[in-house]
Chains A and B, each alone.
Chain A
Amino acid sequence: MSILIGLSIAIVFALGTWQILQRDIIRIIVGFALQSLAVNLLIITAGALPGLRAPFAAAGNQSTDPLVQALVLTAIVIFLGVFILLLVIAYRLFEEYGSLEVDDYKDLKE
């Protein structure tokens, strides 16, 4: 089970990295989003191991670590804000240049 989760984190992170290396800014932003999601999964797996119950659901010490779930909530909220701001910048870039291709943005490299 943990191998499966570990593999999926690796695959999602790698896909995100691959997307960030593309020339289209929407793809770059999606790549960044995929990476963030992979990291969120990683946070969850740091505390949730197979065979443990949800925190506060049962008495005893058979519950998962509740702190990682608080952390992942914070991380998701931050990611949402960042994602929206990046999309706004991408939209403004599209308005200015009429293109989403990084290669068309040449004003800085004069």
Chain B
Amino acid sequence: MSASLVVLPILLPIIAAPLLFIFNGRAAFQRAIALFTAVIVAAVAVWLLLETRSAGVLTHAVGGWKSPFGLMIAADLLGAVFVTLTSLLSVLIVVYSFKTIPERGQGHSYYPLLMLLLASINGLSLTGDIFNFYVFLEIMVLSSFTLVAFEGKRKELEASFKYAILNLLASTLLLVSVVGIYGVAGTLNMADLARKFAGQEIPELVPIVMLFVAAFGIKAALFPFHFWLPDAHSMAPTPVSAMLSGIIVKMGVYGLIRFFYTILGGLELGEVIMWLAAVSLVFGMICAVSQKDIKRMLAYSTISQVGYILIVFSLGSAAGLTAAIVYTANHMVIKAGLFMLAGIIIKQTGTKRMDEMGGLLGRMPVTAVLFLIGSLALAGVPPLNGFISKLATVVAILDNGKPLLLVPVVIGTMLTLVVMTKAWAQIFLGESRRKAVESDWLTLAPVVALTVAIFALGVLAQPVMTMAAETATQLLDPEVYAVSVLGGIKL
């Protein structure tokens, strides 16, 4: 039973995608199938997380081929956490898409692509083979750049092309590093690699590490590679923006964690990543200050927030990894909610520019309150969940004895508060310029769910922190993963 549990989060959406194409043109069927699949996958994911927590790493050998030779699907805590986050978010995104994606897209390729995206992210989180990792990464880029261009107008196509070329370049770099690793070690299995690299100094690994840091840096929009992100995230259909900012950018961070901790058994180039992340943290917010387009502003803020995650990741300590995982979960909840609200506001007012909105407080009070809660959570105001992640960040940095790093963290947080309150005031206060009414409840429901999660993760932070700490402990001991995947085999 546990073996099929590991495969289901990948298999179900992959089966659903062609099934949805069979119902091409029948929007009601497609909506029902997509929602059904997403709910089942989410249930399986939560079950998988609980099972992984109690029973340790779950594995499945594809096709019955024994471990170092065949393809492995393996769920450790990190993978299970990412699968759970993605699957829960995708349920909300499917519900949000019902009314916000134009009718012409509903019955055709939108839901199949969304399901492929879900399958590829779950696949990335669960695979135990580095070449398979590359394949899932490629599927993720393909389905997401097609979704970015979904509206098919000029700006969307332009953003999609930029996103595609940059991310495919990153995938190519990753492929070179995967081949390099294969050339050095002669295996593609992550657990087997961990065994072979344990406690050895291999000079050939230096260029390989540089290659995959660059590849994942592009995926995670680390400072010099960030320029594709604002275009793609602001031009995608809103539910896709929520997915892009909520989880896809973090797959870069996930890849770094996987390659450094599970395979190489320790962090390298930490200083480089740390200072680039510090720059992208401050730089993202400085760019966000001057934005007029609401979704573009949120996209720049994503660059800065991923900067926080990479800073704590680059500390290389258990506290840092814990903070990175907590931050990833909390930022996903907050930013997905904010993007969904931005989509609602854009749809109701008919403009993307914040300076043309104004005075919506009286017309859309529920949206205004939800947006305020999201903004405050992003800036890290207690008792919301953003505060917990900021607290974990600061504790991790001080624990590691690098107080100088607090300077960009504090500047970034202050700028976030400035940007978000300014945006809120510009959108909801002042004189009313546009006729707008409250959105329908079906579209608001996912945002309400995310706002409840903002409070819940803030007030009941202890279980989340414990879970993240367990994940970090498991990651820092790659032998746990290796033993579960390889069994007793010694090569």
Task: Check: B149 CB closer than 8 A to any chain A CB.
Answer: yes
In the complex, how many residues of chain B place their beta carbon closer than 8 angstroms to a beta carbon of chain A?
30
Bound state CA distance, A85 and B113, in angstroms? Answer: 14
Contacts of A14 in B (CB 8 A): none
Q: Is B397 an interface residue (CB 8 A)?
A: no
Interface-central residue, A28, A74, A85, by most chain B CB under 10 Å: A85
Q: Would A36 and B172 be within 8 Å (CB), given that A107-B155, A108-B155 are in contact? A: yes
Q: Does A5 contact B (CB under 8 A)?
A: no
Q: Roughly how many angstroms separate A93 CA and B161 CA in the complex, as a whole number?
A: 9
Q: Report Cα–Cα, A92/B152, bound state, in Å.
A: 8
Q: Give chain A residues whose Cβ lies under 8 Å from the Cβ of B131.
A: 71, 74
State whether the Cβ of B417 lies closer than 8 Å to any Cβ in chain A.
Answer: no
| Distance in Å: Cβ of B173 to nearest Cβ of chain A | 9
Of listed B155, B157, B165, residue having the most chain A CB within 10 A: B157
Cβ < 8 Å to B, chain A residues 19-47: 20, 25, 28, 32, 35-36, 39, 42-43, 46
* A35/B169 contact (C-beta < 8 A), A92-B149, A108-B231 known: yes
B158 CB contact (under 8 Å) in A28, A39, A71, A105: A105
B159 in the interface (beta carbon within 8 A): yes
B179 touches A43 (CB 8 A): yes
In the bound assembly, the distance between CA atoms of A26 and B131 in angstroms comes to 29
Interface residues on A, range: 20 to 34
- B168 and A32 contacting across the interface, CB-CB below 8 Å: yes
Q: Which residues of A contact B154 (CB under 8 A)?
A: 93, 96-97, 105, 107
Q: Which residues of A contact B146 (CB under 8 A)?
A: 85
Given A39-B172, A89-B157: A20 touches B179 (CB 8 Å cut-off): no
Pairwise interchain contact A108-B161, C-beta atoms closer than 8 A: no
Say yes or no for B164: interface residue by CB 8 A criterion.
yes
B141's nearest neighbour on chain A, judged by CB, is: A82
Partner of A93, one of B158, B165, B188: B158
Expressed in whole angstroms, the minimum distance between the Cβ of A71 and any Cβ of chain B is 6
A42:B179 contact, CB within 8 angstroms:
yes
The 0/1 profile, CB within 8 Å of A marked 1, for residues 99-142 of chain B is: 00000000000000000000000000000000100010010011
Beta-carbon nearest neighbor of A83 in chain B: B168
Docked-complex contact A96 and B138, CB < 8 angstroms:
no
B283 within 8 A of A: no
Q: Which residues of B contact A28 (CB under 8 A)?
A: 165
Are A35 and B172 closer than 8 Å at their CB atoms? yes
Is B183 in contact with A46, judged by CB distance below 8 angstroms? yes
A86 contacts the other chain (Cβ, under 8 Å)?
yes
Chain A residues 82-110 with CB under 8 Å of chain B are 82, 85-86, 89-90, 92-93, 96-97, 105, 107-108
In the complex, A58 has a CB within 8 A of chain B? no
A82 touches B161 (CB 8 A): no
| Contact across chains for B161 and A39 when beta carbons are under 8 A apart | no
Q: Check B161 against A46 for contact (C-beta < 8 Å).
A: no
Q: Determine whether A75 belongs to the interface, using a CB cutoff of 8 Å to chain B.
A: yes
Could you tell me which A residues sit within 8 Å of B by CB distance? 20, 25, 28, 32, 35-36, 39, 42-43, 46, 67-68, 71, 74-75, 78, 81-82, 85-86, 89-90, 92-93, 96-97, 105, 107-108
Known interface pairs A90-B161, A92-B157; 18 further A-B residue pairs with C-beta atoms within 8 A, sorted by A's residue number: A32-B172, A35-B169, A39-B175, A67-B182, A67-B188, A71-B182, A74-B135, A75-B175, A82-B141, A86-B164, A86-B165, A86-B168, A93-B161, A96-B153, A97-B154, A107-B155, A107-B158, A108-B231
**6 A–B pairs (Cβ distance < 8 Å), ordered by A:** A32-B172, A71-B179, A74-B131, A89-B149, A92-B157, A93-B154
